[in-house]
Structure 1
Amino acid sequence: MRKLLFTAASVSLLVTATPSIAAPCKDAKGKFTKCPPKGPVKATRCKAANGKFAKCGTPGAKPI
């Protein structure tokens, strides 16, 4: 009985989660568009004039 309840609960979770995963991206007019990537945003790094990494706000630092 316990296995049957566990199986029924897991199947119901899979069925309800599938439409939210497969939802396509739309623009303001309702047309389908390519979805933006969901990965982490890569931080910009800067180097100082001497070639070492520095904070991007320091004078002389340039983004690489």
Structure 2
Amino acid sequence: MIRFLSALAATGLIASAAPASPKPCRDAQGRVVPCTQPKKTAARCKDDKGRFVACDKPGARSIPKS
């Protein structure tokens, strides 16, 4: 009985799908395409009052990423 259960467990492990490789990226038509890297986030800046502003404005200071 123990041999039967161990053999059953071994075949279950062999037959299961291994999640070793990531899923490929696909386009709208379903074709496999190279995956794109995630976009970098834009720099965030605050003015003297603490409101978010565009970083090219005078007096804007960059805030650290956390």
TM-score range, shorter chain: 0.3 to 0.5
Q: Which has the larger radius of gyration?
A: 2
- The TM-score normalised by the length of structure 2 is 0.39
- The TM-score normalised by the length of structure 1 is 0.40
